[in-house]
Amino acid sequence: MSTYVLSDSWTMTRRELAHWARQPVQVVVGLVFPVMMLLMFGYLIGGGREVKGEYVDFLVPGMLALTMAFGLEGTMTAVTQDLNKGVVDRFRSMPMANSAVLVGRSVADMLQSALGLAVVIAVGYAIGWRAHGGLGAALGAVGLLLLLRFAMLWIGIFLGMVAGRPEMVQAVQILVWPVGFLSNAFASPESMPEWLGTVVEWNPMSATATAVRDLFGNPGGEPGHMAAAIIWPVALVAVFFPLAVRKFQALSR
Amino acid sequence: MTDAIVVEGARKRYGEKRALDGLDLRVAQGTVHGVLGPNGAGKTTTVRMLATLLRADEGKIEVAGHDVRTRAREVRRRVGLLGQHAAVDEELGGRQNLEMFGRLYHLGAKRAGARADELLERFGLADTGRKPVKQYSGGMRRRLDLAASLITEPAVLFLDEPTTGLDPRGRAEVWASVRSLVGGGTTVLLTTQYLEEADQLADRISVVDRGRVIAEGTADGLKSQVGGDRIDVVVRHAEQLRRAAALLPGETAVDEDRRLVSAPVTDRMAALAGAVRALEDAGIEAEDIALRRPTLDEVFLTLTGGRETAEVTA
């Protein structure tokens, strides 16, 4: 039956794509949100930051990392909604590959995030951000960002199943903000009080942002963060992927 | 006749609560079996176990000849499930839903599409077009849900409270659909809180309470255990209530607050005519006289010997 994993996963992915087609406004809002944040920080709040070089060059990679981190909310919301509507019960009562439910979710969310990256990069370019590290390095940076998103995906799937209810999702949605902002996305840790700077440097998102800045040749990038930017997300996946799968199987308990 | 569903000694605990406490069930192939009971009796737990969604702690459960635990996939190929909550994708349209489920049953794209059209036609949903399911009425949603359960023409169909929350029209629609399935050889297991529904649709009925079957039989058999139909008389003047009760045959029940006396009847029409005449002769003014089926409350009171059933909503 495992021969059906691919075709079933594709069917489940198509389901998500059909949702997009049904609700284009929601998709556009999702894509515009990080752009709004980018413009807000770039023009309203930014400028005065003590960061070497142009703030926009510092900000765009941080915004890209933040966009990936915030993807967690979307994944979690979608998982909770599915579970609450009973449609997952039907999937589970059918002779399909059960893993396809989670794989379909993953593929669709990764596609959406890739699109989100493209939009932020395009708008960043329009407001003066430039990558100086060459094409290979830029692709590497995109790879690191998607790796971070992949980690957030499995955290989101797990938390979505644990939360179970839309009210719980809201609580997590609020908590995502401080976690997202306690990073070097908008400001360099050197400009912060020491304890805060330490917290920020340990944030997995900061590792990705620093490595991505380095690969783009942007200010705030330091060589040597590549390992952390890979190890953090991989470690998170290693923890949350099995947890999520177990939780999914435990639905029958 | 072989049994399409066999449950022996099924148990399921959630912490301290025993959802199923040694439930036994046998359903002959090609019949409709009603599982009747109040909220929390274990009906949904039973259906979810039969449909491989939930594992029993103990007990043997076989559906369509396969063990639900060890051969879940074989079972899944042969069953359809209509749960309490519409198990369809609300954002998508009816056809999109059915086509998606058809693909997931591995019919292939072409057959999945054809089957979707066929089922939409059969359940009167052919003109719904691209309208998302969330804009459907309750009855339409249930019909689509039912259509989705029938994509592979399952050998066994589970209907978990298929009409709960529907208005009378929606209920009639679902009943009609279920009736049209019977005779096609499908075995149907139906849970319900309504005696009338089990009566209308089921060949045999298991009454469940606190996770076990407390009575089993045909609708008529159960009703004769409970005393069959009843006649209710509401008198105008409270002081005539006792006299009215004495005029009615059998063991009567008196409700002072509602000025109501209730008695069991066997021959409905004769009992009605007899009661009207007797009351008139005695000069007792009746406000209302009605024949009715026993309520689930009464079935329960009788079967459990009057044990407290405050949670029953009949």
**Per-residue model confidence as pLDDT tens digits over B157-200:** 999 998 888 888 888 888 888 888 877 788 999 999 888 888 88
Q: Please give the residue that has the higher pLDDT: either B294 or B314.
A: B294
**Does residue B297 form part of some domain?**
no
d(C-alpha B91, C-alpha A111), whole Å:
19
What pLDDT was estimated at residue A28?
A: 93
Question: Which residues fall within 8 angstroms of residue B257, CB to CB, at 6 or more apart?
Answer: none
Structure confidence by residue, pLDDT tens digits, B248-268:
888 888 888 889 998 888 888
Specify the pLDDT at position B308: 45
**Residue B209 lies inside a defined structural domain of this protein:** yes
In which element (H, E) is residue A72 found? helix A55-84
Residue B187, beta-bridge partner list: B156
Q: Does one domain contain both B218 and B92?
A: yes
Q: Which pTM value belongs to this model?
A: 0.81
pLDDT digits (tens, 9 = 90+) for B84-137: 888 899 999 999 999 999 999 999 999 999 999 999 998 889 998 889 999 999
Residue-wise pLDDT tens digits, A215-246 = 999 988 888 888 899 999 999 999 999 999 99
The sign one gets for the Cα dihedral A40, A42, A48, A51 is positive
Tell me the C-alpha to C-alpha distance, in Å, between residue A66 and each of A25, A202, A209, A231, B276.
22, 15, 8, 18, 80
- B158 shares its domain with B250: no
pLDDT, residue A140, reads 95
Residues B259 and B123 in one domain: no
Chain B CB contacts of A248 below 8 Å: none
> What does the pLDDT average to over A56-77?
91
Whether residue B89 lies inside any domain: the answer is: yes
- Is residue B5 within 8 A of residue B33, CB to CB? The reply is yes
Alpha-carbon distance A152 to A72, whole Å?
A: 5
Residue B307 domain-assigned? no
What distance in Å separates residue A111's CA from the closest CA in chain B?
Answer: 19
Task: Please report which confidence band the pLDDT of residue B7 belongs to, taking 50, 70 and 90 as the band edges.
Answer: very high
Note whether B123 and B259 are same-domain residues: no
The percent of chain B in helix, strand and coil, each rounded to the nearest 5, is 40, 30, 35
Asked if residue A102 lies in contact with residue A245, where contact means CB atoms within 8 angstroms, the answer is yes
Burial B274-292 (b: 16+ CB within 10 A, else e): bbeebbeeeebebeeeeee
Domain that holds residue B243: 229-292
Average pLDDT over residues A157-178: 84
| ipTM value for the complex | 0.85
Q: Work out whether the CA dihedral B299, B303, B304, B307 comes out positive or negative.
A: positive
What is the number of CB-based contacts under 8 A between chain A and chain B?
76
Q: What is the mean pLDDT of chain B?
A: 88
Q: Are residues B220 and B234 in the same domain?
A: no
Strands B79-82 and B230-235: unpaired
Q: Which of B209, B224, B239 is the last residue of a domain?
A: B224
Considering the domain architecture, whether residues B62 and B190 belong to the same structural domain is answered as yes
The answer to the question of residue B310 being in a domain is no
How many domains is chain B built from? 2
Residues 103-122 of B with CB under 8 A from A: 103-106
Per-residue buried b or exposed e for A136-156, using 16+ beta carbons within 10 Å of the residue's own CB: eebebbbebbbbbbbbbbbbb
Looking at beta carbons, which pairs linking A197-204 to residues 24 or more positions away fall under 8 Å? Answer: A203/A179, A204/A148, A204/A151, A204/A232, A204/A233, A204/A236
Residue B309 lies in a domain: no
CATH number, domain with residue B242: 3.30.70.100
Contacts of A63 (CB under 8 A, 6+ apart): A34, A37, A38, A41, A120, A124, A185
pLDDT at A48: 55
Q: Which residues pair with B217 in a beta bridge?
A: B205
Same domain, B153 and B212: yes
- The DSSP code sequence of A115-145 is HHHHHHHHHHHHTT----SHHHHHHHHHHHH
**pLDDT tens figures, B217-234:** 988 888 777 667 889 999
Of B92, B132, B148, the CB nearest to A90: B148
Tell me which residues of chain B, numbers 191 to 210, contact chain A at a CB-CB cutoff of 8 Å.
none
Q: Which of these three, B203, B224, B245, is where a domain ends?
A: B224
Q: What is the pLDDT of residue B233?
A: 92
Task: Note whether B140 and B243 are same-domain residues.
Answer: no
Do B20 and B160 fall within a single domain? Answer: yes
For β-strands B187-192 and B156-160, DSSP reports them as parallel
Amino acid, res. B204 = R
Name the residue ranges covered by the structural domains of chain A: 2-252
**What's the rounded Cα separation, in Å, for the pair B294 and B265?**
11
Residue B109 sits in the same domain as residue B237: no
Mutate to test the interface with B, among A93, A96, A99, A101 (most CBs of B within 10 A): A93
Nearest CA of chain A to the CA of B161: how many Å?
14
Number of H helices, E strands in chain B: 11, 14
Query: How far apart are the C-alpha atoms of B86 and B95, rounded to whole Å?
Result: 15
- B197 and B278 part of one domain: no
Same domain? For B122 and B101 the reply is yes
